[in-house]
Every structure is written in C-alpha cells, then in structure tokens.
Amino acid sequence: MILSRITPTANPLPALLIGMLLFFGSVPVVAAPDDGVFARGEGAFARGDFAEAYRIFADLLNSRPGDAEADFMLGRSAYEIGDYEAAIFAFERVLIAHPESDRARLELARVCFATGDFEASRSYFNAVLANDPPRTVRQNIQAFLARIDRATCRHTVGGMFSLALSFDDNVHASPVDEQVQTLLGQVTLTGATANPRKDRIVQPTLLLNHAYRSRPKGVIWQSSAVTHHAIYAEEDDLDLSLVGVSSGPVWQTSSLQFSLPASFNYLTLDSRRYLSTSGLGAELIWLAKPRLSLGFSLQGSRLNYADEARDAWQYRFELRPVGVWDDNRLSGGLGLELNDARQDRTGYQRLFASIGYERPLFLGLTGSCGYRIKRTRYEDEEPMFGRVRRDTLHEISLGLSRPVWQSADGRSRVVAQLQHVITDANANIDLYEYDKNVTTLAFSLRF
C-alpha cells in the first residue's frame, strides 16, 4: 500500500503563491495591450478554458512578437494544459526582456517543479528571496523550498495511524429472511448467523511508507507496511488482524508514473490463520491534463486459505479516472476480477464499478459521497440449492471530514472522518441476500 500517487488535485503551489502573485501582480511586466484580443484571452483563462486561452495568446504573439504580458499569459496557459516546455520558453522570454520580473521567476519555479527539475525550481525561488520580498512572500517561498527538500531527499518516511469506531447492524451479513429455500424445501436457519446482529468494532490501523531515491530524477524504490485490527465488542469470533507489506520500483516523469509492486498479506480470524496472499502488480498513472488523470492497474495474486479447497489464483484489472475542477473532485473505477479457485464452487468472475465525489463545504468540512456496484457470477452450482450463484451488491456512502490539528511545518496533521455506508446485496439464492448499515468515526494522524 503506497500512499504516493500522481493524481490531479488542487495544486498546492498556487495556494502558496497567492500572496506572492498578489504582491508582484501590482507591478506589471509591461502595460497590458489595450484591445479586445488580450481581454478575450484573459476571459478564457479565467473561466478555465486554458486551451482557448493558449490559442489566443499564441495568435497575439504572432502578430505582436515581444509582448511580454502576452508571453506571460501564454506561459500560464501552457502550464495549465500540461505543455511545460512551451511554458518554460514563454517565461524565459519574459525574463530576457525584463530580468527584474519576479512574477515570471515564480511561475518558472512552479513549472520546473512539475517537470521534476527541483534544482532549477530551487534556484528561481532563491533568486526571488535575494530580492528581499515581503515577509508573507518569504514565508510562502520557504515553505515551498521545504517541499523541494523533501522531494529531493534520498530517504523519505511517512505514514498514517488511524483509530476508528464502527457501528455495524449486521456483522455476520445475515440473510434478509431466516427462511431459505433449498432443494430439500424450505429451511429455517439457526445459530449466530440466522438473524442480523449489531456490534461495535474498534479498528486501529498503522501504515508506514518509505521511498528511496538514488538521485532526484532516478528510479524510486517504494515500500510500505500495514497492520490493521478489527476488534468486536460482542462477536469476538469475528476479530480480525491483517499484516501486509509491499515493495517495488517506481518510474516517474512529469506526467507518468509506473510502478511494479510485489506484496504479501497475512490475515487471521479469531486468532487463527484464515488467509495469506502474495502477488505482483503493475500500475500506470497518466496525468493527461493538470486536472485529469487516468490510472490503469493489473494485479495477480495467489490466495492460500486455511481451508485448502478455497485456494485460488486471482487476477484483477482496474481503470481509475480522476478529475478536478474548481473545488470539486470526481473519481471513478471500472474493473474485472477473476478468481480461479481449486474448488469450482468458490471460483467466480466479477465486474465492478464505482463513482465518488467530494468538495469543501463550510467550517473546514469536506463532504463526500459515492456509489459502488459489484456483479459476481460463480463458476459452479451450489449443491444445496441446485443453481449457479449470482450476486449483485450495491453500496452507497456518505462522509464528512475535517482537519483538527496541523503541525507548524504542515507535515503532520490529524483528520477527523465520519462515514455512513449502506449495503444492499441481492442474489438468486436467498442465503446470500442481506442488508447492512455501517457508521464509522475515525481519527487519523498523517505524518
């Protein structure tokens, strides 16, 4: 489980630069041309149509070469559409004409960071600091230089500790009706799983990440370790413990990340071995645009159960797009999972899809909602029921989160999260139809 991912988010650098651009923005590079073309370009940029803004400013420069203000806006538009080379050339032209322009240096620092040229980014920031900017500007630059230091450090360690309390109204996933139709007729279920049972679950989780870089632009070796426990207040035979590790190389460019992680997980149920898994994965994340990424992942795993008849090879493919606009974040998932089990009755083919949305609300709160569907077809019929099992699971989630503490350097923080998940499982066999509601309150320390 590696936390580091290339995903489109509200870029932290503009937030750091707001104060700087407000200050330097009061000192224009040159007077903006007084015509409708420049205004149209600014309008396109303001409404987020960066490709159109780039076209307008490029055409303007063809008819009026050397216009530093148009070059500056061309550079900003190029950055937003992911054309970092064009952005660099535009800002460099501004600096050639106006060497005193710290606005252009700040934008160049941002582009260089996006391309992974951390030393050039550091150099441009230090050049602005040498001009003795205002205190707020200096603090923002120093905060960003700290991020560059972390990005270029050979060894990086981080992680998360989370403590959650969940309320589950159907911990055994008991069927909707205790009367189940079988080949022998109607059967009345008995025992702990016959009817839904409620319980409280305490869930501590510790995740540690480590990244090693031989050089700033070289291959990164990422490793992680996780331990998770689910401790039930009443149904202690469901107590679960998980220990997992993963490790592998990561190749990164300004718009691509490719990783090959190997993983191993060990799961116990009621203090007894239940399952161990080992596998190899491949993941490609492409930053198609500054606010749009596409993720592709393949995973092959060997599943070894305590019940050897359930041992299986599992293969999983998933496509994950993520888009960001203004304060909104929309994510999705579409995938296929194949379970080739030793016992055909437990083997299956599964299609799954998901969609999620989140955005800031008020008082520091962030709201989220999501929907997930899984359709599963098993390979062989259930002997007791005389039919091949088919399931469809629907899941709806609603959540709120809010930072409650942050360290002075911004590297550590505590986030409170409240989430409610509604599950509706439908099946062509009564035994596997159930409803479930789970409410979780969690506090997470991220470091």
DSSP structural state of residue 143? H
Secondary structure (3-state) at 35:
coil
pLDDT of residue 150: 75
Cα(310)–Cα(273) distance, rounded to whole angstroms?
14
| Domains of the chain from N-terminus onward | 12-152 (1.25.40.10), 155-446 (2.40.160.40)
Cα(92)–Cα(442) distance, rounded to whole angstroms?
48
Q: Report the alpha-carbon angle 341-346-350, nearest 5.
A: 90
Dihedral, 389, 390, 393, 394 alpha carbons, nearest 10: -150
Cα distances (Å, whole numbers) of residue 445 to 359, 403, 414: 21, 10, 4
b/e map 93-106, b = 16+ CB within 10 Å = bbbeebeebbbbbb
Question: Shortest CA distance to 255 belongs to which of 45, 10, 7?
Answer: 7
pLDDT of residue 31: 44
Rounded to 5 degrees, what are φ and ψ at 407?
Answer: -70, 165
Cα(440)–Cα(201) distance, rounded to whole angstroms?
9
Secondary structure (3-state) at 53:
helix
Cβ atoms of residues 31 and 69 within 8 Å: yes
Cα(231)–Cα(276) distance, rounded to whole angstroms?
20
DSSP structural state of residue 188? E
Grouped pLDDT means (10 residues each) for the chain, 447 residues: 42 45 44 70 91 93 89 94 91 92 90 85 91 83 82 85 98 93 88 92 98 78 97 96 98 89 98 97 92 96 95 98 93 98 92 98 96 97 92 98 89 95 97 97 97
